[in-house]
Amino acid sequence: MIQTASKAFFSTVAGSSSLKTLASRYGMRGPRSFARRFIAGETIDEAIAAARIIEASGLQQTLDLLGESVATMAEADAATRAYLEVLEKIAVSGVGRNVSLKLTQLGLTIDRATCVDNLRRILDVAQRHEFFVRIDMENSPFTQMTLDVFETMWQQGYRNVGVVLQSCLSRSVADAKRMNELGARVRIVKGAYKEPRAVAYQEKAQVDAAFLVITKLLLAGGTYPAIATHDPAMIAAARAFAKQHGIAHDRFEFQMLYGIRRDLQAALSSEGYNVRVYIPFGREWFPYFMRRLGERPANIGFVMRGILSER
């Protein structure tokens, strides 16, 4: 219940442009500024530097150029070109070739056909350089559209692309079965957005129970699923299920966010599991940052300490 209220509060704050301006002034200013706990930096070079450190410790990574809900075609085009540049830089750098992106960043809210074209431009370059591209899942008004765009690309033969399903949505069990049928790669998450009762479970216990149902479906019948959570109970259940059904460590991966539960990331990796860290970077970090605060209000403590120590 507290978590639901906290998500609602922080999603409102995330829309505040004056707070965004204020936070942007301080959050990334120095090497120890408060937003750097969760965001690798504002530039691709900083993100690649973070990826190298992650990989040196035996983990894998996916890089996410932050941005969402662009308002014009020109912005969607600029975001697409920025992604193409990011792919080229990653390819040259030698770090792992895996990125995550959001469709509203590519114009989904403005014109779906343009968004599909933009995504295709990215997938073509990604294919040439052997990248895997994960389409992040946004809030529920975009669920169906996102899955439709994904299936369009899938039917056109793209296989270097995968989706995300959120266990908070009651539809996701059926979506997981559909993705298993296709043979598509799914990342399962609990869901970062405040969602209405009509489409989403409101109690943490329900979201957790659905997470386990979907995780088991994906482990048993999916294609290299990504189990993306920091919750030790979810991780323990996934491990037990895999062991019980003889599912080898290389048939799935765990994923966690940059800066969160680094101890757990290292422990799983040292036990031989594949662990991928989601590394966000870019100038548009404020909404992502607010979602992380909403998940764990205790994070506000270190943010406040960070702000005060910088003044």
Residues with a known catalytic role:
136, 187
**Closer to ligand FAD by Cβ: residue 49 or 264:** 264
Q: How far is CA 15 from CA 21, 43, 89, 291, in A?
A: 11, 23, 31, 11
Which of 104-132 are b and which e, b meaning 16 or more Cβ less than 10 Å from the residue's Cβ? bbbbbbbeeebbbebbbbbbebbbeeebb
Q: Of residues 99, 288, 292, 306, which one binds ligand FAD by CB under 6 A?
A: 292
257 forms part of the interface with ligand FAD (CB under 6 A): yes
260 forms part of the interface with ligand FAD (CB under 6 A): yes
**Closer to ligand FAD by Cβ: residue 73 or 154:** 154
Say which residue the tokens 């491990």 belong to: 239
For residues 119 to 158, the per-residue mask of contacts with ligand FAD, x marking binding by CB under 6 A and - elsewhere, is: -----------------xx---------------------
Q: Of residues 95, 256, 279, 290, which one binds ligand FAD by CB under 6 A?
A: 256
189 forms part of the interface with ligand FAD (CB under 6 A): yes
Separation between Cα atoms, residue 258 and residue 307, nearest integer Å: 20
Separation between Cα atoms, residue 242 and residue 135, nearest integer Å: 25
Angle formed by the axes of helices 262-270 and 232-244, nearest 10°? 20
Q: How far is the CB of 245 from ligand FAD (least distance, A)?
A: 22
Q: Of residues 76, 95, 119, 164, which one binds ligand FAD by CB under 6 A?
A: 164
Spatial CA neighbour of 65 closest among 33, 41, 88, 49: 41
Q: How many residues bind ligand FAD (CB under 6 A)?
A: 23
Q: Contact at 8 Å (CB) between 70 and 110?
A: yes
Separation between Cα atoms, residue 187 and residue 175, nearest integer Å: 12
306 forms part of the interface with ligand FAD (CB under 6 A): no
229 forms part of the interface with ligand FAD (CB under 6 A): yes
Strands 161-166 and 98-101: unpaired
231 forms part of the interface with ligand FAD (CB under 6 A): yes
Residues that bind ligand FAD (CB under 6 A): 136-137, 164, 166, 189-193, 228-231, 255-257, 260-261, 278, 292, 295-296, 299
